[in-house]
Amino acid sequence: MFNKFKILKKEECPCGSKKKFGECCFLKESRKFYNEKEALSVISKNARKSRINICLCNECKSKAIGAHALQENGVLSKLAVDKYVLMQNKKENATMLEIEKGIKEAFYFLSEVLIKDATVQTCFCKNHDDKIFEDIEKYNKIFSPTNLKQLFLFAYRTFSFEYYAEITSNKFYRNMFKDVPQLIKKTILITNYKESLKKKEEMDYYKNLFDDIIINEKYSELATVVIEFPYTIKFANYMCIAPNFDLMGNNINVFDKKSKMMRRVFITSFPKDEKSYILISVFKRDINVYEKYLKSFEQVSKEVIKYYFNCIIPLISENLILSPDLWDEWDEIGQCLVQTAVSEPNPTRVLLGLKLILCNLSKKDKKNFMLNNIKYNIFGKKNLDSKIKIIKNQINF
């Protein structure tokens, strides 16, 4: 018996006690909060407690340093204005909004963050952070969109920072449930908690595969589609997603038949030198799942590719880093739309809408679709006509 939406009495209690829910938090009294400040301080205390210090490289036991998911000098510095970028800052207090009468929920909107703090997590030790990622992190290394080792390292870094986020998210839920037992009866929280557990499990599977590639230097195990822009984009992003439709709106079954687990795609977007890149990597062993998805990048127009990322990056990813310059290009409605997308806790319905739009755009008479007339465009209002290039690595179709 498995229920996505709630914890059954005979299930293990999500507070981490190892007891059955019916014999643990189910019996506890609700915790009372007398004001919003009190609730916020419990959230931020537990968020702090969840941020562990761990080096994700193999069995390394060394202490992790604060490392950037995306290079500070070379990527983030390109986006910053007066040393600030815009992103969701989970280290600050959330904004509490009333979603129903008397019920408030925590939202994280984009806010200004110093680049020295942006995307920093404690998930690699100094030695591994320097050694493993040398080829993409050292300032004098030029990026080449056909260098398999560099492509691998970007996917691996994206994976690692997302994996770390999932470990801390699991921990955060457990801490919160322990402190505030009545939360265990909230459907939306339990649904998210169970999804987070599942994602962690899937990521454990990928952790072994990534470790194996590093040890054996088998960088050709990844297939990568690179989208190259001839100018510097004003955002950066990294995410591990399981897209269940391609760029023409066709369904993709993201579940592996044997393990019943979702398979994932590793996507990293960044400006580098005078160009910009979106790297879309999958493991070759998952190619049966994502062949159609990767192929679809060549089957649609460049405008549709931009439209697709313009929608999914703010919506799905928790790691969108924006330049304040880009933000200023949009009017109030555009800015509102981005804030809404970024803080949306359940994007399923919006994604369904995107799927229908992509379906429509793939029809013959829509080939002239242009991205000009929408309220916000993360690719910027300049460079609208720039030619983008698609480069395939380790893909034979």
Binding site for Zn ion (CB under 5 A): 13, 15, 17, 24-25, 55, 57, 60, 62, 125, 128
Name the token pair of 301: 């127009």
Q: Which is nearer to Zn ion, 68 or 292 (CB)?
A: 68
Name the token pair of 198: 């599942």
Query: At its nearest, how many Å lie between Zn ion and the CB of residue 123?
Result: 10
Buried b (16+ CB within 10 A) or exposed e, 25-54: bbeeeeeeeeeeeebbebbbebbeebbeeb
Q: Which is nearer to Zn ion, 62 or 335 (CB)?
A: 62
**Interatomic CA distance for residues 275 and 134, integer angstroms:** 20
Query: At its nearest, how many Å lie between Zn ion and the CB of residue 182?
Result: 12
**Interatomic CA distance for residues 256 and 190, integer angstroms:** 24
Nearest to 160 by CA among 124, 202, 213: 124
Query: At its nearest, how many Å lie between Zn ion and the CB of residue 209?
Result: 19
Q: Which is nearer to Zn ion, 3 or 182 (CB)?
A: 182
Q: Which is nearer to Zn ion, 55 or 136 (CB)?
A: 55
Q: Which is nearer to Zn ion, 176 or 320 (CB)?
A: 176
Query: At its nearest, how many Å lie between Zn ion and the CB of residue 397?
Result: 38
CA 117 → CA 87, 106, 121, 275, distances in Å?
11, 22, 9, 24
**Interatomic CA distance for residues 206 and 200, integer angstroms:** 10
**Interatomic CA distance for residues 299 and 268, integer angstroms:** 21
**Interatomic CA distance for residues 299 and 72, integer angstroms:** 35
Name the token pair of 109: 């909107």
Q: Which helix (H) or strand (E) holds 387?
A: none
Q: Which is nearer to Zn ion, 194 or 264 (CB)?
A: 194
Question: In this structure, what are the phi and psi dihedrals at residue 278, rounded to the nearest 5 degrees?
Answer: -120, 120
Q: Which is nearer to Zn ion, 133 or 229 (CB)?
A: 133
Nearest to 271 by CA among 383, 370, 371: 383
Cβ neighbours for 136, distance < 8 A, ≥ 6 positions apart: 71, 143, 150, 153, 154, 157
**Interatomic CA distance for residues 191 and 193, integer angstroms:** 5
Query: At its nearest, how many Å lie between Zn ion and the CB of residue 268?
Result: 22
Nearest to 268 by CA among 65, 75, 78, 125: 75
Query: At its nearest, how many Å lie between Zn ion and the CB of residue 127?
Result: 6
Query: At its nearest, how many Å lie between Zn ion and the CB of residue 17?
Result: 4
Name the token pair of 43: 């959230």
Query: At its nearest, how many Å lie between Zn ion and the CB of residue 185?
Result: 12
Query: At its nearest, how many Å lie between Zn ion and the CB of residue 14?
Result: 7
Q: Which is nearer to Zn ion, 179 or 228 (CB)?
A: 179
**Interatomic CA distance for residues 176 and 37, integer angstroms:** 16
Q: Which is nearer to Zn ion, 57 or 254 (CB)?
A: 57
